[in-house]
Structure 1
Amino acid sequence: MACEVKTTCPYCGVGCGVIARVDDDGAVSVKGDPEHPANFGRLCSKGSALAETLDLDGRLLHPEIGGRRAGWNEALELVAERFLQSIAEHGPDSVAFYVSGQLLTEDYYVANKLMKGFIGSANIDTNSRLCMSSSVAGHRRAFGSDTVPGMYEDLELADLVVLTGSNLAWCHPVLYQRLAAAKASRPEMKVVVIDPRQTMTADIADMHLAIAPDGDVALFNGLLVHLTTSGAIDQNYVSAHTTGFAEAFAAASALNLDGLSAATGLAQKQLRDFFRLFETTEKVVTCYSQGVNQSSAGTDKVNAIINCHLATGRIGRPGMGPFSLTGQPNAMGGREVGGLANMLAAHMDIEKSLHRDQVRRFWGAPAVASKPGLKAVDMFRAVADGRIKALWIMATNPVVSMPDADVVEAALKACPFVVVSDILRDTDTTRHAHVLLPSLGWGEKDGTVTNSERRISRQRAFLDAPEEASADWWQLAEVARRMGFSEAFGHASSAEIFAEHAALSGFENDGRRDFDIGAHASIDRAAYDCLEPFQWPQPKETAPQEGRFFADGRFYHPDGRACFVPVQAPKARLADDALPFTLNTGRVRDHWHTMTRTGKSARLSAHIAEPFVEIHPSDAQTIGVADADLVRIESPCGTVIVRALVTARQAPGNLFAAMHWNDQFASKARIDALVPPITDPFSGQPASKNVAVKAARFAARTYGFAVSTAKPRKLQAVYWAIAKAEAGWRAELAFDGAQDNWIDWCRQAFSIPGGIEPIGYTDRQSGEFRLAFFEGERLFAALFLSPRPVAVARSWAVSQLAVPHADLSKRFAVAAGRPGADKPDPGATVCSCFSVGVNQITAAIRDGCHSVEAVGQRLSAGTNCGSCRSEIRGIINGCLAAAAE
């Protein structure tokens, strides 16, 4: 019989509840869980498409050693042997784990226990270092603990929501929809968006502050001075519960209003308006994400924000507080178990001998690591220079996501022993592994995750494990046993691991540490299976309860007070002729990290199908780039080639490029290859938002677009980017030289059988050339070539892979790239949930649909996850403005 299972989305830190339904025929469908307090039934485009990413295409299903299939015992024995050998010859710091916010808490816990408690090194770090470690450092400096004070409902209760360094509409879409709905019901609510780009989030902003890169410290320092001089400080709260205000104020006073304007790039009136709005609104939430964290001054940015909330006592109360929005589904869970190299499990500090002793005694460990391990960037430096001899990478793809990515790849190539646990066989990282271990994916694995509001939820399995794939915690425990630590790693289930994790959180705690879920220390398998989402803390013998921290003024520094942290604005980078542009990196709406999951969905690939760079029209004109041209971007670290998207949303002098594309989907688009390994001195988080680059038009001799039923392979082109499409694949191409035989090129690239002959179309005047290969009535592949970026209706061309072509004239129409009047081109996809294109939306506007709601009623666009609503509104405004001219 069909069954439904409640689980949690594996994408961003919102932690949405999902109901997965498995039908009798094995088909899976998903919907939002209306009872989950994170999303109340809402899902974004990625969450809605989860069922489309569950196929076994490309899955790693068996252990491999040196590229050959191996058994689990042989592979695990080899991993244990090589790690033990390295430890014996070079010491425990010669080995390392690089883990991921994609792991479940139970996986994370076992990895941390093995490395820090039994191997005796703290060389375990996580890709969460790249997204939220500056928040951790800022919290610990201010609060004495890594504590997120608030909860999601604060966004709905606030009268002012400040979004800084957060493209909420695309990166946390469900929270954006909650905020948008709250603002619609209370129009007096104000939203301020602080971002160098005019992102889709700015659609609901009452004020958009297009701040200069890394201007955040100056802005919030200026706010602190304004709050002080205007008498808005909560003197009672400051004097009773904090220390260091005078020092923080003195540091903040270094810039006058002229200096603030120069440092932030904002007009003085904008500064005064923002300061006054913050001053006069009591219920303020300041949400921040990667635009704050991913900076060489990320920790100082966090503390500059927190200083303003501490100064006004606007923290820990409904609708008030600083709020860190984490990027990954279990970045918070990783923090709880000490997944970062400078932390211990259960929010204990590796620097404190008391905490090390508590963890050692609880685990029965021989000796807990006594000093912080290597943070991510330093870890891969140590791999490169030979200090680390054996490295185990789990559920992440650092050859794409790490800064200075080409150097990271070279380090892995040179490392004596690399183990990778993953669900996919071919990634940019797995190709350098000596041992590959097949892991469980979403829908197969079983455990817990913690979202940005400290809410722990279950990820439940609803699919059988495919072939030999196994849980990450099991892999770790089996290696631990083979290393001689059997007694400490006898866990039989994720429920047992969670119980141990909960017990450690309450061990000798008595309220001295913020993280405490001791109430679940005795949980059994049945109770674990039924575990409802709950927020921590939940100490022993207490019931679950919703709550905030710090309204009572009790913090976790030894004196019980919060610390104001004096911070100074960093010096702005001056543009130079060699590197005149500032590159900002980030996410797009429908893809996730390095596309190992979302790249499987045709629907998610339809919105943005190739790597791109946003560039302001004046900059594009200066370097001779037109919309849809190719652009070469260079930094001292590397080079990429991407498509130009010319838009006034981008500030002059600034570029934006997405981080997702990799060597599996594009020829040269690993954006983090451009990013230098510059890190925040406190958090070790890389600076990915302020990269000095140069850009120029990439002049190709021939441009191409192709569709095919078979996945393109061995594309002999100077530029290529592929994306999944309905019934096949699509490819963007560019060539720097002539091909001797395009028919043979197509046969190789698209795996076209020899018996299939093409029909063609050539326009000698324009230089355009077309080939289409049909197998019976089915289009097998089509190639469109031009001396300029190819002007072909992409969505229409892709759709031809799924329809029959019995009529010969229709086949020639395909070859010509011209949809007939009876098959209008929907245009580039705007709404991924319902596959609605821009041409359909503009047609509805011409037909009288002049609001987002009207377009939704006509086409359904924007009525599911809602993350395209701002884009739809922009199309409406553009059409109506053009009609009025």
Structure 2
Amino acid sequence: MASEIPPEPVHQSRNSIEDIWGPRTPYKHEWPTRVDQACDEEPEKWVQSACVLCSNGCGLDIGVKNGKVVGVRGRAMDRVNHGRLGPKGLHGWKAMHRQDRLTHPLIRKNGRLERASWDEAMDLIVAKSKELQKHLTNHSIAFYTSGQLFLEEYYALALVGKAGLHTLHMDGNTRLCTATAAAAMRESFGSDGQPGSYRDIDYTDCIFMVGHNMAATQTVLWSRILDRLAGEQPPKLIVVDPRLSESARKATLHLAPRVGTNLALLNGIQHLMFKNGWIDREFTSKHVVGLKELEATVSEYNPQKVEEITGVSAADIEEAARILGTTKTLLSTALQGVYQSHQATASACQINNINLLRGLIGKHGCGILQMNGQPTAQNNRETGCDGEYPGFRNYQNPNHMAELAKLWNIEQIEVPHWSQPTHIMNLLSYIEQGTIRMFWISGTNPLVSLPNLPRVRRLLTDPELFVVCQDIYPNETTAIADVVLPAAQWGEKTGCFTNVDRTVHIAHKAVDPPGECRSDLHIFLDYAKRMGFKDKDGNDLLPWSTSEEVFEAWKKLSAGRPCDYTGMSYERLTGGSGIQWPCNAQNPQGTERLYADGRFFTDLEDCETFGHDLQTGAPYTKAEYQKQNPAGRAILKQCHYRPPAEEPNEEFPLRLATGRNVFQFHTRTKTGRTALQKSCPEPEVRVSEADAAKLGLSTGEVVIVRSRRGAVEVKCRVGNVARGQVFLPFHFGYWDSTDGRARAANELTVDYWDPISKQPLFKSGAVRIEKIVDGKEGPHVREQQTAAVEQASKKDAIATTSEEDLTQRERQMELWLGETYETMVQLLQIYEKLIPQLIHNQEVEFGVATLHEIGEDMRKRMEPHVEKLGENKQRGRHRAHILREALFPPKDTRGGSYEVLETLQGLSIYLSHIKGSLMALEPVSLAMWDQEFYDSVQYARGCVHRMRAWVKEQIRVKSPQTLLVPVRKPAE
């Protein structure tokens, strides 16, 4: 493998592997330009683009000669990087010339991936799709995409899933890295979208970096901070990180909490801000809600308690609060150390709170950058390819869904809005249950990146699962796929993408892709055409042929939303710098930072969500949101700290965190095929000096790291991490491994996730380190990727999803519908016979007669749907009968007032049971796109609400007198 790695560029402005951040250019307010460049030859022409190897979004030009990429240079005029590039930007392009590119479609035949034509591959995918539609509904098909595609490609995919198949089963690997960023901004500000700007670094007096090792994850942005630190009036820098990272080394104050305790630390800082009066009362009185609730919650988190939870000294907590509480300007940032850790969304919201409490948002040098982990993650969220709806629309808002339906020219019921889109961990559960039978993966490598890899390997090699994998190089996931589609990559296609601070860049095609590679956009458009997706007028749902046409369509959908692109065009984006959204008639040059006017996207008709309970993850209703009445004000969210689900113990005494290395990106699909690989050739587990001494470990020694889920065998590196904690980079899988050792960090990780953002908690769970003492070279823990490939080799793509698997099934909806209908029948029996037998009360008897009329009306509305859809009674006695007998036991005589109350309580419980049954049928009717069925369910829910309201009032009226005033004892 090492011999195949391309050499470093011949002509470089610097050796960026040895000099990662480049020479210092100290400044204040205006970051000087410095153009970084790396070429093998002098280009014939330069083509405008931007870097896609971290979330920074640096503008660059691609050098081309004889139809081949020969180098890159930073764009001097670009607002993001002022000409600078990091090591990944200066080396990543070299992977384009590797000989192991996927260049033609592959289909698994008799266990082997064999070359096929595009028609053969796409016809097979469409045939499988239609077969599954027929037997298992559209909801048996799922998509899992990337943070690497272009905006136009995401939007096309969103239309394929949401408007073509009308399914919620769409997510992206952005779920693994930035879902919490989006969730926290929705909770605090009403909508996704970064409030801050990179230029805030140029003006700020204080930078607060929480769980964000910028020196490794965004090297160019870190060089900007280094230049500020080296210049006049450098800002204070507070870094929260369990490791002594390169970022932490430069900190004014480094806080190293125990993994999983961010929320307690942030609550403790806010406690001191309230205690010391470091609150902008004028700002909070006008522009936030929830101040009293937040103050009450954080009042419990004094420095001594927080030190006990986090391990951070009370003195350091007090110093951090003092700096944050007194600084004139503040820029806060966060990344995976927050998002992938315990109580992720709750913690990210507290970072927002700190800026809001100080009123330091929307001003020069003031803002929040809830960072992304990937270059096009923002577009994935904007267009609705993961846990969002296009244009940051709210699925709980019928007006937003009606707007989408109008823009797409489909029926409103066909817009999948019965729930939030299905996140990847639930997609895996549905695969496990056998109800998802086609899984289309584009631009990502889940057999390395997902948590609990032993389970993921088992699921994705299920003999009945049809796996489509769309990528640019072979990897662990393409190796087990049934169909592999070769995709064009960056530099081989045209499209736009948006970085962390909302800067939109255009990346022009510089060279043709090799072999038969096609752009992701071309693939999705081809699938839509072959599937025959139409709007309600019979026109093609995706009628475009070029990326620019898709961009123009996207602009219409973004109009009036927070991410408004209507003022942009390919022409405007070409030739100069990227432009920040919103860019429209009101902001023709783009928008530097959001919320400068103190108004947030929290109006009822603007907001992307009605929010959640941060502890349980339960979504709030529209009524609960209205009760908060944010009305354009930010929302201060609060939550108590709770310990993680898996804490260290005697068997597994160390806390695990996984993360990034400066030289590698994600699963190394690109960076592992460049000279960057030489600088980081294999994973190492980082252990504290104290833990290493206790175990007798030394740097370079091979050890076993073991969790409850699996084990890896890797080298050890001692130092620069807090005691009791270990760190392992997640980049490494098995596509280039030769020694047979298990080494993927996700062999160890828990498959828990945050209750709001649904982001997996990679920085969670407990492990132990085992010293190898047998003297054998190993492997002592053998990798299981080879076994997964062997399992896949038993498959044949054409035969995947057997006829028996498709036809020998029983739908559960008829069973539920039958049970629900029977509860209504039994309710009428309760009204007619049981209640009159049990009690004698004129008011109740009169009311029950009215309830009987409502109940009969409800039953009649549901009866046609039971007749049409069928009623499954194969399970014997209905639960309705059992519940009725339990709640209304027969009695010899009719009772008095206490028995009346008991009977009313029983009726309340029975009606609640019907309510719960109908609650399940509401999203089912929407997922069936059956308007009449949905209307009948809604009508029935209204009837139950009326009946429950009557019962509730009777209980409230009768209970005081019945329960408080003594009654005569019955005669002996």
Per the TM superposition, whether the score is higher than 0.5 is yes
SS in structure 2 of the partner of residue 286 of structure 1: strand
Q: Which residue is equivalent to 1:609?
A: 681
Residue 752 of structure 2 corresponds to which residue in structure 1?
678
Inter-partner Cα distance in structure 1 for 2:340 and 2:234: 32
Equivalent residue for 1:659, pick from 730, 745, 748: 730
Paired residues of 2:602 and 2:632 also in contact (CA < 8 A):
yes
| Separation of aligned partners in 2, 1:493 and 1:189 | 46
* Matches of 2:245 and 2:779, distance apart in 1: 33
* Residue of structure 2 aligned with 1:465, choices 513, 531, 547: 513
- Residue by residue, what CA displacement relative to the aligned partner does 1:91-141 show, whole Å, maximum 9, x if unpaired? 222111000001111111111111011201111100000111111111111
Structure-2 separation of matches of 1:16 and 1:118? 35
Q: Which amino acid aligns with 2:471?
A: D
| Alpha-carbon distance change, 305 to 356 in structure 1, aligned in 2, over 3 angstroms | same
In the aligned structure 2, how far is the partner of 1:610 from the partner of 1:321?
Answer: 37
Are the counterparts in 2 of residues 614 and 645 from structure 1 also a CA contact under 8 Å?
A: yes
2-structure distance, mates of 1:132, 1:290: 8
Per the TM alignment, residue 365 of structure 1 is displaced from its structure 2 partner at its CA by 2.7
- For 2:377 and 2:571, the matched residues in 1 are separated by 26
Say if 1:104 and 1:315 are closer, same or farther in 2 by CA, change over 3 A.
same
- What is the rounded CA distance, in whole Å, between the counterparts of 1:68 and 1:135 in structure 2? 41
The residue that corresponds to 1:406 in the other structure is 454
Alpha-carbon distance in 2 for matches of 1:528, 1:191: 34
Residue 378 of structure 1: aligned partner: 426
Question: Which residue of 442, 445, 454 corresponds with 2:490?
Answer: 442
Q: Give 3-state SS (helix, strand or coil) of 2:194's partner.
A: coil
Question: What amino acid maps onto 2:271 in structure 1?
Answer: V
Query: 1:368: which partner in 2?
Result: 415
The correspondence of residues 167-178 of structure 1 with structure 2, limited to 5 A, is 167-178=213-224
User: 2: distance between equivalents of 1:641 and 1:584?
Assistant: 16
Superposed CA deviations along residues 374-409 of structure 1, whole A, max 9, x for unmatched, are 101111121122121111000000010001122111
Q: Which deviations, in whole Å up to 9, do the C-alpha atoms of 1:36-94 show, x marking residues without a partner?
A: 11111111111111232111421111111111111111211111221122122112221
Q: Distance in 2 between matches of 1:87 and 1:25?
A: 43
Q: Deviations over 1:463-512 (max 9, x none)?
A: 11211100111111111111111611121111111111111101xx3xxx
Aligned residue identity for 1:675: T
1:196 is matched with 242
For 1:397, the equivalent position in structure 2 comes to 445
Separation in 2, partners of 1:156, 1:720: 50
Of 673, 679, 690, 1:600 maps to: 673
2:742 maps to 668
Instruction: Map 1:48-63 to 2 at 5 A.
Output: 48-63=90-105
The aligned residue for residue 564 of structure 1 is: 636
Larger CA Rg, structure 1 vs 2: 2
* Corresponding residue of 1:644: 716
Alignment of 1:324-363 (within 5 A): 324-341=370-387, 343-363=388-408
Give the C-alpha shift of residue 584 in structure 1. Answer: 0.9
Matched, 1:166 2:208: no
For the structure 1 residues 285 and 27, does the alpha-carbon distance in structure 2 shift closer, same or farther, using more than 3 Å as the test?
Answer: closer
User: How many pairs were matched up?
Assistant: 697
* Mapped pair 1:489 → 2:534: no
Question: In 1, distance between residues paired with 2:249 and 2:571?
Answer: 46
Shift of 1:250: 0.9
| 1:320 equivalenced with 2:366 (yes/no) | yes
Cα distance in 2, alignment partners of residues 100 and 24 from structure 1? 31
Tell me, yes or no, if the aligned pair for 1:518 and 1:539 is still in contact at 8 Å: yes
The C-alpha deviation readout for 1:606-649, integer Å capped at 9, x for no partner, is 222211101112212222322211111111111111111112x1
Match of 1:762 in 2: none
2: CA distance, partners of 1:304 / 1:353? 30
2:81 counterpart of 1:39: yes
Provide structure 2 residue ranges, at least 5 long, that are not aligned to the other structure.
Answer: 1-42, 535-539, 604-630, 784-972
Give, as a single letter, the amino acid of the residue that structure 2 aligns with 1:622.
Answer: K
Counterpart AA for 1:629? E
* Residue number in structure 1 paired with 2:305: 259
Range with greater deviation from structure 2 (107-116 or 233-242): 233-242
The runs of at least 4 aligned residues of structure 1 exceeding 6 Å deviation read: none
Letter in 2 for 1:380: L
The corresponding residue for 1:534 is 579
C-alpha separation in 1, matches of 2:265 and 2:69: 52
Letter in 1 for 2:651: A
Q: Residues 794-822 of structure 1, C-alpha deviation per residue, up to 9 Å, x if partnerless?
A: xxxxxxxxxxxxxxxxxxxxxxxxxxxxx
Q: Does residue 1:578 correspond to 2:668, yes or no?
A: no
Deviation at 1:321, TM superposition (A): 2.0
Distance, in Å, in 2 between the alignment partners of 1:318 and 1:526 is 29
**Structure 2 counterpart of 1:6:** 48
Deviates more, 1:294-303 or 1:534-543: 534-543
- Asked if the contact 1:582/1:692 (under 8 Å) is kept, the reply is yes
Q: Secondary structure at the match of 1:420?
A: strand
The alpha-carbon distance between structure 1 residues 598 and 91, as it changes in their structure 2 partners (threshold 3 A), is same
Higher strand share: 1
Find the residue that maps to 2:239 and give its secondary structure.
Answer: strand
Mapped contact 1:458–1:531 kept (Cα < 8 A): no
**Amino acid paired to 2:397:** K
1:590 paired to 2:632: no
Shift of 1:349: 1.7
Q: 1:306 touches 1:322 (CA, 8 Å); kept in 2?
A: yes
Q: Structure 1: give runs of 5+ residues left out of the alignment.
A: 704-715, 722-885
- In 2, the alpha carbon distance for the partners of 1:112 and 1:27 equals 31
Deviation of 1:357 (Å): 1.1
2:163 aligns with one of 114, 117, 122: 117
Tell me the secondary structure at the aligned position of residue 149 of structure 2: coil
> Structure 2 CA distance, aligned partners of 1:307 and 1:541?
29
Alignment check: 8 A CA contact 1:238 1:311 kept: yes
Distance (whole Å) between structure 1 residues aligned to residue 299 and residue 590 of structure 2:
41
Q: Which has the higher helix share?
A: 2
* CA-CA distance at 1:570 after TM superposition: 2.3
Instruction: Give the SS at the match of 1:488.
Output: coil
TM-score normalised to structure 2 length: 0.70
Aligned to 2:762: 688
Instruction: Tell me by how many angstroms 1:693 deviates.
Output: 0.8
In 1, are the aligned partners of 2:505 and 2:573 still within 8 Å (CA)?
A: no
CA distance in 1 between counterparts of 2:587 and 2:317 reads 46
Q: 1:419 to 1:266 in 2, by over 3 A?
A: same
Question: What SS does the aligned partner of 1:410 have?
Answer: helix
Counterpart amino acid of 2:437?
K
Query: Partners of 1:51 and 1:141 in 2: how far apart?
Result: 38
Q: Which amino acid aligns with 1:365?
A: I
Given residue 420 of structure 1, which amino acid in structure 2 is its aligned partner?
C
Q: Distance in 2 between matches of 1:490 and 1:528?
A: 24
Contact 1:296 1:678 in 2 (8 A): no
| 1:55 partner amino acid | H
How big is the shift at 1:452? 0.3
Name the CA distance, whole Å, in 2 between partners of 1:69 and 1:402.
28
Deviation at 1:301, TM superposition (A): 0.6
Question: 1:410-429 alignment to 2 at 5 Å?
Answer: 410-414=458-462, 415-424=464-473, 426-429=474-477
Q: Deviations over 1:301-337 (max 9, x none)?
A: 1111111111111111111122111110001111111
The separation in 2 between residues aligned to 1:489 and 1:339, in whole angstroms, is 16
Q: Separation in 2 of the partners of 1:309 and 1:542?
A: 25
Call closer, same or farther: CA 1:406–1:447 in 2, change over 3 Å. Answer: same
Q: Note the alpha carbon deviations across 1:225-278, whole angstroms, 9 max, x for none.
A: 222221221112111111111111111112222111112211111111111111
- Cα distance per residue 1:536-566 (max 9 Å; x no partner): 0012475223421113221111211111111
Query: What's 1:221 paired with?
Result: 267
Matching residue of 1:294:
340
Are 2:231 and 1:185 equivalent residues in the alignment? yes
Matched letter for residue 369 of structure 1 = P
Q: 1:27 to 1:359 in 2, by over 3 A?
A: closer
Q: Compare 537-546 and 243-252 and name the one that shifted more.
A: 537-546
C-alpha contact 1:592 1:598 (8 A) present in aligned 2: yes
Match of 2:140 among 94, 100, 112: 94
1: CA distance, partners of 2:166 / 2:589: 35
Partner Cα distance (1:593, 1:671) in 2? 12
* Residue in structure 2 matching 1:77, options 114, 123, 140: 123
Alignment match, 2:692: 620
